[in-house]
Amino acid sequence: MLQELIKQGEGERLEFKKKTTHPTRISRTLASLANTHGGQVLVGVDDDGRVVGVRDAEEEIYVLRQAAEHFVDPPLTDLRFREVEEDDRIVLIVTVPESPHKPHRAQVADGDWRSYVRVRDESVQASNLTEKVLERSEPSTGVEWMPLNKEESAVLDYLRTHTRITLPQYMKLLNIGKRRAFRTLIKLTLHGYIRHHDKEREPYYTL
C-alpha cells in the first residue's frame, strides 16, 4: 500500500515530508488539504519518493496534532494516523479528511493567519475570492448539481478540449460582459462543476 501511494507521486491529495520540523510549516499543508479535497501526508518520505523513515513516530504525531489543533483555525480534530514499516523504517501516513467547515486558516506568524488550497502538488495561499468560494462550498460528496443553461454548458464544453479557461477567454468565447461572465464562472465553481485557481498572475478555471 505504501509503495502504491509513493508511486502516485506528490499531487493535489498527496504530500511527502521527510519530517515535521515545526507546527507552522506543516499547518499550511494540513489546512490546504482540508480546504480542498482532503488527502494524505507521508511523513518519512523524501521529495523524490525515497523512504527515509522517522526517528520517533510519537513525536511526529505530537507535532502534527499541535499543528492541526493550535496552528489551524478552525482546528482540525479528525486527523488519522497510521504507522507503516518499510525496510526497517517507519513511515507515518496522516489522513486529512476534506472539511465541512471551510475555510481553514494556518498561522504563519504571530497574529498572521492565512488560507491555503492545494494546486497540483503545492499548498498555495488563497485569494479573497477563493475564500468566499470555500465558505459556500460543500465537501465533494455533497455537490449540488443543477441544470445548466447554454452559457454554463459552453464553459464545460470548452474545458473538455482545453486544459483551462480564463475570464477574458470566456467573455470572448460567448461575447458577454465581464460581470455576467464572472457570475457564471463563480456559480459553476460553487456548485462543483469547475475549479478556480489563483496561483498564477491571472486566475483560471479547470474541470
User: Per-residue pLDDT tens for 51-110?
Assistant: 999 999 999 999 999 999 999 999 999 999 999 999 899 999 999 999 999 999 999 999
Question: Which residues sit opposite 83 in a β-bridge?
Answer: 92
Asked whether the beta carbons of 72 and 17 are under 8 A apart, the reply is no
Looking at residue 141, what is its pLDDT? 47
pLDDT of residue 140: 56
Look at residue 133 and give its three-state secondary structure.
helix
Q: Is cis: bond before 74, omega within 30 of 0?
A: yes
Strands 39-43 and 14-17: parallel
176-181: long-range pairs with CB below 8 Å, 24+:
176/151, 180/151
Q: How confident is the model at residue 147 (pLDDT cuts 50, 70, 90)?
A: confident
Q: pTM of the entire structure?
A: 0.74
pLDDT surpasses 60 at 142:
no
| Nearest alpha-carbon partner for 43 in 24, 27, 19 | 19
Looking up cell 464562472, which residue turns up?
Answer: 185
**CA–CA dist 49, 35 (Å, integer):** 25
Confidence tier at 167 by pLDDT (50, 70, 90): very high
User: Could you tell me the sign of the dihedral formed by the alpha carbons of 60, 38, 190, 188, in that order?
Assistant: positive
Confidence category of residue 120, pLDDT binned at 50, 70, 90: confident
**Residues facing residue 96 across a β-bridge:** 39
Q: Is the pLDDT of residue 122 over 70?
A: yes
How confident is residue 143, by pLDDT bands cut at 50, 70 and 90?
A: very low
| Alpha-carbon span 177 to 162, nearest angstrom | 22
The distance between the two most distant Cα atoms of the chain, rounded to a whole number of Å, is: 62
Cα R_g (the chain), whole angstroms: 19
- Residue linked to cell 495561499: 125
Q: How confident is the model at residue 145 (pLDDT cuts 50, 70, 90)?
A: low
The confidence band for 198, taking pLDDT boundaries of 50, 70 and 90, is confident
Q: Which of 86, 17, 25 is nearest to 47 (CA)?
A: 17
Phi and psi (nearest 5°) for 152? Answer: -70, -40
| DSSP-assigned letters across all residues of 64-107 | HHHHHHHSEES-----EEEEEEETTEEEEEEEEPPPSSPPPEEE
